[in-house]
Structure 1
Amino acid sequence: MHPDSASARPYGALAPGEMIGLYLVKLVAFFTRFGATPDERQLGELNLWLTRAETLVDGLIRATTAVYLTQSGYEELARAMRTPLGITPQSPPDFQSAPQTLDQLQERLATCLATYERAEALARKLAMIIALALYSSALERAQVRPRPTSTISVSVHTDALVTGASAPHLWPPPI
């Protein structure tokens, strides 16, 4: 952590999480500036910015999870976590959706802020879940079989027990 605020440092010195935090702060400022009665165009812009913020927060969680997976030795999975899902260079994400009401947008913003605040913990838990899933699937593939136990069959001569005669001496013992 740096002792000075994130907005006082040049943008090049900020970590990705801090840049996303600044974007969210600016988004909250836009929400308060537009007031209680934004017009349709402003709602559309807020919706677009909020969708981008949600995408950034999801990307932050995936990138942080990739760091944890790399530290755990899962390089291939870390590379997969860094690749956005469903987004290829040929198909950019679709941000154009119908504008929502201001209350719905504020609810989405509150959810986005809460997710951003828990991003580190969510990434850590996601990395643990992935590692545990890999471990359990590796155990299933190993097909752990119980060690075969040798069974010794002992035959008891019931007629000797009934008549009172001694059982025949068996040597060598059956194996």
Structure 2
Amino acid sequence: MSENRPTHTGLEGRIAEIIMEPLEAQGYELVRVQVMGTETPTVQIMADRADGASFTLEDCEAVSHLLSAVLDVEDPIDSAWTLEVSSAGIDRPLTRVKDFNRYAGFDARIELNFPGPGNRKRFTGKLVDADAETVRLRLEKDEIVELKRADIRKAKLVLTDALIAFTTQPNVTN
């Protein structure tokens, strides 16, 4: 697993593989690919600016035009589909090691693919840190759990006043 890139599997992994290099070449980073729906699926791409500046409407347009062209050529989906490009937002999904570490000290919800420590699948607590293999989360009563990144189904920040204050500071990616 790469520290600066999210991990995807299946169709989402194929799409991430197709778009990663063109996206990075234009100064953006992939946060997440999600394919929703079956008949006419929506391909949702969340991105950040590599320079750490806020992701603007103009960035959404630029990424959308770039990825539309790339995906039209590669055609990873057999049927008609819709492309949706957005910023990760304030209560963003956590998909990369750098995301977990950047938001250390903030509240997060993490859901595992199958039961982990304490035979639980869902955890809410303060992010401690992460490395290529593990995310550490401080639960109530100061208990720290170690969760395998490979087992994480989804993780996202919890919207709090502290998070809003942090993300509205200059030079902070939203």
User: What TM-score bracket applies, with the shorter chain setting the length?
Assistant: under 0.3
- More helix by percentage: 1
* TM-score for both structures, normalised by structure 2: 0.24
* TM-score for both structures, normalised by structure 1: 0.24
- More strand by percentage: 2
